[in-house]
Structure 1
């Protein structure tokens, strides 16, 4: 097995293969993908669909002199196999050496560590600009999927590329779907281009000033080799539009593209996951239940997402059930926030949901279009916890410093199922503030909770004690309970345990009360300490007669870490905090 793939140490080795060997190589590469993905999971559909195109690109171009930039790099696994990293796919012992995204630390054939979408054209345009300044002559190739074209950065970069006067090749990998179905007017034009074999008079790429060429069979190696030979060393920017099949080579992925965009480890014969996700309660299902119930009762309510329905498990059937009360703006977080703000201004009740790592792209719109105008939009952020997404490109741990410091934005951190559901209900109905709710990343817990959160920044004292106050935010509230018990056992007194609920402000009145019979405040937060929740309390207490010790993560781009080991690294396990308390 992998006889041909083992002969490819670098891309130029492809040129010694016959046509039949190139086809067999494609089969071996899919077997290598199966070997890795059935065991550790990863992005399935995008990589299976681009195998032939990757072989053809590396056959024609001369990487790393010729430079490839893969958008979002969900489709970079075949590229990695052909650039010296095949062991990460054919040898289980080497899986951990290969990240799920392009990574310059791994190979000279990678130029950017990229995991967010719509970026490749702009990044590659920068490479081309530097090349032209240096008077060199390499080809610059940006690879982007059709779904990513709806992102503002991609559109801005197409506009830039249209004015360039030198070599720049944009490969549009069109498999007719993003993660879920594509949304937006540009996709009608893409469909028309496919239907006319690229000959449609109305051509969005030419409208940007770009040259254009089309290949219907984007999974035919020989046709693609001829296509790329035509554009190699071209002296102006051109879009190479190829039509590929997402998930090609595996019937389950070909027939069900959305759930097979990314997969957990699975059984190849049945397509069923090897991981037991359990059948119990989940915050995602609570969110869906709330949305469906609210939509039935209130026609002013609707949900909006930037191409991320799967983040809460909102499948196609649920989306169809919501009808006009569901809006997907495509990969366009900035537009999602602005549309929601406009809808709220006109009396609607929008709930926007996505992952924390992606909403960072809309910081300016949250600040300018939403919060300056103080419109009542509810934003639900999944994966804001340190223990869910651990790839460096997808971290949610920067959300607290980023968003809790925007004026008018109320950031809520629920610590139980009841608190989460009550916060959703309150936020959607209130008309005073934009609200961001951090969906819990822990296992579901239950506890009595308030139903009204209109008294902004009012913390809740769950257990009244003395000497030490534990203020444990959101997902770390359960760690606060554990610390409460440990202090009681170790030091023979009961501390005060506080559930702050509000991540974006300080309960000054409560802090003043604590000062009377407490010597120390401990803050626990599921995010970066610097600029985050705990430092707000420490700043307020700076001239007061009470000490504050903040526990959280450091301002570091962590990558593929073990969450529990990370807690030890930053000194915030219960045992380590107890040791720290001996010094106070």
Structure 2
């Protein structure tokens, strides 16, 4: 096998030209089998096999810096830098990450996980190179989807000022290649990089400019004519107009063609965009036909592409999807917004039934939120469905554009809490903290699938900013008999006893039920309260708990810093009543980033599993009894 010859960075340079297509086939076969077994990002990685190979052939790693936007397409890069053995533990706890990690390899130049960041990071590297006098190439690889993010354009605007080489590879897997346009563009691209062309362009412009009166007019007219012609033939005019050289498009599965264009790109003094056309899922028919399904794939059967363990129970996203469809039927003012995650957030059915009321703004969370604010100001009822980790990118817009104006925007926050295999950049463990700092924001979290349905309906009728956060995975179907109507700011008492009170938020209610059963078997009396509202706090129930309980335990799947528990502690410390000195302990995720791995393993590692919680409660209650 040719792949066996790749054991360290730059080993690919030792291969013959005849071995390169064989290596590409072997890499695809390797990735398909490993991801079918362990899960992971398949379609995007199959699409960049030859592109990654060409980059590793054209540049020298780790001296040269390749920065992968988002980073979920870096599997081939990991193979070519000697990490083949790591794929057995890919995305598992303690194993290799599914994203670039600087601590994992010196060939990983920048940790990525969120979109539209690579050009900014690459520009930082390029400027640092000039300041320190070092000599290396910087290559930022960004997809056409990631280019919809506003941050990418902010970076391009600054990149246009670069006087030294900085290569931006635009990996475009959405448009087909036209041989005529592609051939002409390649010809013009090669022509523009030659010294003769650059000298001629500069010379003609300078000469004409010296002609009195008419010179500047002639230059202006030529520029307008030239731009008009380029608009017809060169798809990269948007970059050219910004002052960035454009080369391409080039077939992203043709290694010799890419090597030629990279050779031209390094000649450019300044920023240069290399437009590469690839096919997502290439080499595996199910992924080519359904790239979205194989974006972040669970283990699957290679022969059919179908999940190895089909899901038989509804998850929270399914429940949200059903509720949204029903709301769309009942209220024509309900509109849905998402940021390139229509399928992931469960809005596909709403989109199919009400296409004119569905808005996918691309990877642009900031725009999504302010756009929703505009819709709300105009009298509609916008529901913004975004993953917890991605919503934090729009913090300023939530604060300034929604909450200062007190606009009725509903935030449906999917994947809140620990999400597992995607690791630090995707764990939704900060939303309670960052949202609770914002005045006018209400925050809810459902205990089970029925309560999610009730909360979405409540939120649509609410006339102020409101968020509903719910976890990834199977929807809890316990406590069905407890379905009191949602009342603003009021929690739900599920079990009323004494001694210990468990006050749980959202996904932690299920854990609290299990903790309570264990404690009861040990002889403890426990009340169980479903918080429902994180903000505002139900201060009335907090006061009531002080009369019959000695220990209050808050439980949340969020970092402890700024979370629900801290707000409870602050209230209890500041309240007027001093009748009870009830002890409060907070069960939450430590104030740290949580790596990738199975969610159940992660819960145990961070101490929010039932066994760890029982141990903490028993130890704390023993201290209370000793003091008495």
Name the TM-score, length of structure 2 as normaliser: 0.85
- Per the alignment, residue 468 of structure 2 pairs with 437
Aligned pair in 2 of structure 1 residues 240, 118: CA closer, same or farther (>3 Å)?
same
Per the TM alignment, residue 160 of structure 1 is displaced from its structure 2 partner at its CA by 0.9
For the pair 1:406 / 2:438, whether they are aligned, the reply is: yes
User: Structure 1's 211 and 4: CA in aligned 2 closer, same or farther, altered over 3 A?
Assistant: same
Counterpart position of 1:505: 536
Task: Tell me, in whole angstroms, the C-alpha distance in 1 between the residues paired with 2:110 and 2:512.
Answer: 39
Counterpart-to-counterpart distance in 2, 1:292 and 1:234: 52
Q: Which residue of 1 aligns with 2:582?
A: 546
Secondary structure class of the residue paired with 1:312: coil
TM-align CA RMSD: 2.5
- Paired position in structure 1 for 2:216: none
Q: Which segment drifts farther, 294-303 or 92-101?
A: 92-101
Distance 1:262 1:505, change over 3 A: same
Residue aligning to 1:180: none
Bigger shift: residues 462-471 or 387-396 = 387-396
2-structure distance, mates of 1:12, 1:465 = 67
Q: Does 1:300 align with 2:300?
A: no
Match of 1:533 among 529, 546, 564: 564
Q: Secondary structure at the match of 1:287?
A: helix
In 1, Cα distance between the equivalents of 2:181 and 2:109? 31
The equivalent of 2:449 in structure 1 is 417
Counterpart-to-counterpart distance in 1, 2:601 and 2:62: 36
The answer to whether the aligner puts 1:556 opposite 2:592 as a matched pair is yes
Alpha-carbon separation, structure 2, partners of 1:563 and 1:201 = 45
Separation of aligned partners in 2, 1:416 and 1:207: 53
CA contact (8 A) 1:36 1:92 kept: no
Q: Which residue of 1 aligns with 2:554?
A: 523
- Indicate the residue corresponding to 2:123 in structure 1: 125
1:417 positional shift: 2.1
In 2, distance between residues paired with 1:397 and 1:156? Answer: 28
Q: Residues 282 and 14 (structure 1 numbering): CA distance in 2 closer, same or farther, change over 3 Å?
A: closer
After superposition, the C-alpha distances for 1:533-584 in whole angstroms (9 at most, x for unaligned) are 0111111112542211111110111112443344444444343134322222
Bigger relative contact order, structure 1 or 2, given CA contacts below 8 A and separation 6+?
2
Match of residue 63 from structure 1: 61
Q: Which residue of 1 aligns with 2:240?
A: 206
Q: 1:225 to 1:93 in 2, by over 3 A?
A: closer
SS at match of 2:535: coil
Q: In the TM superposition, what whole-angstrom CA distance separates every residue of 1:251-285 from its partner, at most 9, and x where no partner exists? A: 1112222222221111111111112211x333222
User: Is this contact kept in 1: 2:91–2:422, CA < 8 A?
Assistant: no
Alignment of 1:288 with 2:328, yes or no, is no
How far did residue 6 of structure 1 move?
1.8
Match of 2:74 in 1: 76
Q: Match for residue 310 of structure 2? A: 276
In 2: Cα distance, 1:7 partner to 1:141 partner:
25
Matches within 5 A, 1:301-316: 301-315=334-348
Shift of 1:193: 7.7
Maintained 8 Å contact 1:193/1:203:
no
Deviations 1:419-455 (A, max 9, x none): 1111111111221x111101244533224323343x3
- Structure 1, 34-43 or 329-338: larger mean CA deviation: 34-43
**Shift in alpha-carbon separation, 1:51–1:93, aligned structure 2, 3 A:** closer
| Aligned residues between the structures | 565
Instruction: Name 1:485's counterpart in structure 2.
Output: 517
What SS does the aligned partner of 2:507 have? helix
Map of 1:184 onto structure 2: none
Q: Distance in 1 between matches of 2:181 and 2:455?
A: 46
Deviation at 1:76, TM superposition (A): 0.6
C-alpha distance in 2, partners of 1:463/1:381? 28
Relative to structure 1, the CA distance from residue 361 to residue 402 in structure 2 (aligned partners, 3 Å threshold; closer, same or farther) is same
Task: Choose which of 253, 272, 290 in structure 1 pairs with 2:287.
Answer: 253
SS in structure 1 at match of 2:522: helix
Q: Is the 8 A contact 2:100 2:110 kept in 1?
A: yes
| Separation in 2, partners of 1:504, 1:516 | 23
Query: CA separation of 1:202/1:173 partners in 2, compared to 1, >3 Å: closer, same or farther?
Result: closer
**Equivalent residue for 2:225?**
none
Deviant stretches of 4+, over 6 Å: 92-96, 190-196
Q: CA deviation at 1:292?
A: 1.4
After superposing the two structures, state which structure 1 stretch, 379-388 or 76-85, moved more: 379-388
The secondary structure found in structure 1 opposite 2:274 is strand
Q: 2: distance between equivalents of 1:571 and 1:248? A: 42
Question: Residue 304 of structure 1 contacts residue 340 of structure 1 at CA under 8 Å; is this kept in 2?
Answer: yes
CA distance in structure 1 between the partners assigned to 2:234 and 2:91 by the alignment: 47
Say whether 1:583 aligns with 2:595.
no
Indicate how the Cα distance of structure 1 residues 423 and 326 shifts in structure 2: closer, same or farther if over 3 A, else same: same
Of the structure 1 ranges 539-548 and 332-341, higher mean CA displacement relative to structure 2 is found in 539-548
Q: What SS does structure 2 have at the residue aligned with 1:46?
A: helix
Aligned residue number for residue 270 of structure 2: 236
Report what 1:52 is aligned to.
50
Deviation at 1:41, TM superposition (A): 1.3
Residues 564 and 191 (structure 1), Cα distance of their counterparts in 2 relative to 1, 3 Å cut: farther
Give yes or no for contact 1:281–1:444 (8 Å, CA) kept in 2: no
State how 1:316-331 maps to structure 2 within 5 Å: 319-331=351-363
Q: Which one is further off, 305-314 or 114-123?
A: 305-314
Tell me the CA shift for residue 74 of structure 1: 1.6
3-state DSSP of counterpart to 2:263:
helix
Deviations 1:69-108 (A, max 9, x none): 000012111111111112234x679986421001111111
Secondary structure, counterpart of 1:474 in structure 2: coil
Cα 1:472–1:428 change in 2 (3 A) is same
